[in-house]
Amino acid sequence: MVDSRFFRIDWIIILTTFALVGIGLVYQYSAASSDIFAKQISWVVIGILAMATAAFIDYRFLLRHAYSFYAFAMVLLVVVLQLPAVRGAQSWIRLPGFNIQPTEFMKLALILTLARYLMLRENQHTIRGLIMPFALALTPTALILKQPDLGSAILIPPTLLAVVYASSARLRHLIGVCLMGVASVVPMWMFVMKGYQKRRVLAFLDPDLYEAREAYQLIMSLIAIGSGRIFGAGLGKGTQTSLDLLPDKHTDFIFGVIAEEGGFVVASIVLMLFLLLVCEGYRVAVRTREPGGRLIAIGCATLMGVQVAVNIGVVTAMLPTTGITLPLISYGGSSMVVTFVLIGLLLNVGMHKPMVLGREAFERHDDE
């Protein structure tokens, strides 16, 4: 007998996901070596299996063990800081045959933990009620900044704000927190940011002054995007790609390859597919009456949306250069698998219709 959940699968999410993965593999074939391309296919297969697993395990089981997942991810973040740096950062744990990036797993654990903590509470509309969720998010953020991995760290605050707001926190309280975050920019610049991170920001503000070093990647990306024009140079025919002028072309700057070889047309298709995926994620949240599932969907959709926005912003010179992958398209095992799990959770929430024993909706308190 066919599981009734099969008939509630969100096919828009699945088709959009595989369309993005397919486009990613096409341009990975052009940008990456044969060895890396083969590994990418392996990670896609593993990711699909992870997505299927995440989709069909009742998400309430995951919520019950969310604190354990969070604790394990925190241990990994502490362990990675004890290991030797790779390319100037302590972000990877090397295992036989592959590496894992603890930061990626913390993103997933944090969404589940925030959903678990907030789903049945009613005091998050007070300042005191916001202390614990912010502590849960900012503690791993501090460890991620210490690696240093600024790109991943900046994804956590927007995800936190979205989940907390969806759980009935007052808008004026969150605006106040955001203003405090803006005020923290100066001390972060002085005491937290590394020298090369400061130079990247300065290169973003004045590329000509840093053209030979920090702005080189940014300039090559803009050349690649501009040379693609409407229809692109054709697969494997992009100058920046074929001559290996664009650094990290198969990872953080894969969108530059897509824009150069596929042009405005393919680049626009990619952006529209991501927009559709994120919007469908929010649609799952809106349709879900169970508080925990709704918060999971909000967190997953927001995390993916912000990551796409930051990656595209960096590649198009709208944001300072920082290392962050383009979900489902960039090369990377941990990132690929975790993104598939996030999509699996969206499918999971959309398919399951659990009995609601608590509040069916979070109450807004913005007018109080």
Residue 84: inside a domain? yes
CA distance 312 to 243: 22
Query: Quick one: tokens of 248?
Result: 């990290």
Could you count the other beta carbons within 10 Å of the beta carbon of residue 227?
16
Residue 20: inside a domain? yes
Distances (CA, A) of 258 to 68, 266, 315, 332, 333: 40, 7, 11, 17, 20
Could you count the other beta carbons within 10 Å of the beta carbon of residue 283?
17
DSSP state at residue 317: T
Q: Which pLDDT does position 365 carry in this prediction?
A: 53
Phi first, then psi, for residue 116 (nearest 5°) are -65, -45
Q: Which pLDDT does position 94 carry in this prediction?
A: 83
Residue 302: inside a domain? yes
Number of domains in the chain: 1
Q: Which pLDDT does position 116 carry in this prediction?
A: 95
Residue 367: inside a domain? no
The whole-number mean pLDDT for each consecutive block of 10 residues of the chain, a chain of 368 residues, reads 64 97 95 90 96 93 95 95 79 80 94 93 78 93 90 93 90 84 77 73 69 72 90 87 82 94 96 98 93 96 97 90 90 93 96 61 54
Asked whether the beta carbons of 156 and 172 are under 8 A apart, the reply is no
DSSP state at residue 89: B
Q: Which pLDDT does position 353 carry in this prediction?
A: 66
Residue 358: inside a domain? no
Residue 231: inside a domain? yes
| 199-227 pLDDT, tens digit each | 777 777 776 666 556 677 888 888 899 98
For tokens 């009742």, what's the residue? Answer: 58
Q: Which pLDDT does position 6 carry in this prediction?
A: 62
Task: With H, G, I as helix, E, B as strand and everything else as coil, classify residue 260.
Answer: helix
Q: Which pLDDT does position 360 carry in this prediction?
A: 54
CA distance 42 to 109: 24
Integer-rounded Cα radius of gyration of the chain: 21
Residue 264: inside a domain? yes
